[in-house]
Chains A and B, each alone.
Chain A
């Protein structure tokens, strides 16, 4: 009990310290490093809250993928210290913002303390649905069946985000190669890692996506690992991002959402409601959609990390 308290207290303090550092760090680069630390520590908090699926997602997406994007931009947005100093609000605004934020935090803290010990939730209904679709991992069952619409829309959000990021490129580069170009690494730790890690990482990524049906894991966590392996090879100059006009890339990107949508429509025809997994086809169909989604999530995450087109194909 005391050990639990010590552990929780330490994790909470470290998270708070990482968050403070993220806000107060002297350089943007140091702030981003603080944020990645914050994400990794937050995933520890999720483990302590018995939410292992969330912990995996937070570590992979919240800390890892977000961290890579932020680090890239911190390197590119290094200048402008004078402009930032000129635009930083004065003491009165800071005080007002402090009062506003402090008041909100206090209100939320009081709400947390006033929460009833246990209240009935929708979990029982979700558990019933999970038995129907044959998924042992309740979180996966919620993602695919009980709240399938959320997941479908989320996968479409990823596609739209890629489109929006691509649209940030200048007109003359449309249809070109996205992202910065990295020199091919022939020696050193990056060259070694980029050759040795992907074969292992790809197997692990697929494994995480596959066991997600019955254990912590799933398409988002597995897809992120797959994307990370490609990003590693890209960073070492071993692979080149495909042109944004490449039809194969676009097909991989939309395969998951499209498969999900078609399966949902099939449910509407066979079972009378959209996204009802038809009992006759149930699990095989679901696994097919999950596989397509894993590929699409991996492609979307990698393309979001790479960024808008920056040069001609």
Chain B
């Protein structure tokens, strides 16, 4: 095992943690955070792959690196939009989760 493999395993753990948080946590802001952890894990896995396809004389393959840079910027844009939507929802309904309000649940039952 070597350094990149260690970070690959870390990436796998981060994907698992992020997915778990995304499902289990109720608050929208926490879900957005968990989603970003998941994304960070995926990017790290990409970075590990970048070490493996590196041609002789280069430490890392530039193609996955460029794609991760694109990914980080797009993830930021998506986070900004998600946060804006969460704040707007809070303004309109005073809700900080996406679950239906308790009275609506009682109505369904």
Interface, chain A (partner B; CB < 8 A): 4-5, 8-9, 12, 15-16, 19-20, 22-23, 28, 31-32, 35, 38-39, 42, 45-46, 48-51, 53-54, 57-58, 61-62, 65-66, 69-70, 72-74, 76-77, 79-80, 83-89, 93-94, 97-98, 100-102, 104-106, 108-109, 111-113, 115-124, 126-127, 138-139, 141-143, 146-147, 150-151, 154, 157-158, 160-161, 164-165, 168-170, 218, 220, 297, 300-301, 304-305, 307-308
Contact indicator A70/B66 (Cβ below 8 Å)? no
Q: How far is the CB of A303 from chain B (nearest CB, A)?
A: 9
A298–B18 alpha-carbon span in the complex (Å):
29
Contact indicator B48/A112 (Cβ below 8 Å)? yes
Q: Which of A73, A111, A120, A124 contacts B29 (CB 8 A)?
A: A73
Instruction: Give 30 CB contacts A-B under 8 Å.
Output: A5-B3, A23-B21, A35-B36, A38-B37, A45-B44, A53-B66, A61-B72, A70-B29, A70-B32, A70-B79, A72-B83, A76-B90, A80-B27, A108-B15, A111-B12, A112-B11, A113-B8, A117-B52, A118-B53, A121-B53, A123-B54, A141-B62, A143-B70, A150-B67, A157-B77, A168-B84, A168-B85, A220-B73, A304-B80, A308-B84
Q: How far is the CB of B46 from chain A (nearest CB, A)?
A: 9
Interface residues of B in 19-65 (CB under 8 A from A): 19-21, 23-30, 32-34, 36-37, 40, 43-45, 47-55, 58-65
A160–B52 alpha-carbon span in the complex (Å):
35
With both beta carbons as reference points, the residue of chain A lying nearest to B90 in the complex is identified as: A77
Contact indicator B78/A161 (Cβ below 8 Å)? yes
A307–B4 alpha-carbon span in the complex (Å):
38
Interface of B is mostly: helix
Contact indicator B13/A105 (Cβ below 8 Å)? yes
Report the count of interface residues on B (CB-CB < 8 A). Answer: 82
Contact indicator B68/A54 (Cβ below 8 Å)? yes
With both beta carbons as reference points, the residue of chain A lying nearest to B53 in the complex is identified as: A121
Interface, chain B (partner A; CB < 8 A): 3-21, 23-30, 32-34, 36-37, 40, 43-45, 47-55, 58-70, 72-81, 83-88, 90-91, 94-97, 99, 102
Contact indicator A54/B72 (Cβ below 8 Å)? yes
Return chain A residues, CB-CB under 8 Å to B96: 77, 79-80, 83-84
Return chain A residues, CB-CB under 8 Å to B72: 54, 57-58, 61-62
Contact indicator B88/A308 (Cβ below 8 Å)? yes
With both beta carbons as reference points, the residue of chain B lying nearest to A158 in the complex is identified as: B77
Return chain A residues, CB-CB under 8 Å to B54: 118, 121, 123
Return chain A residues, CB-CB under 8 Å to B16: 101-102, 104-106, 108
Q: How far is the CB of A230 from chain B (nearest CB, A)?
A: 16
Q: Which of B18, B34, B65, B102 contacts A86 (CB 8 A)?
A: B102
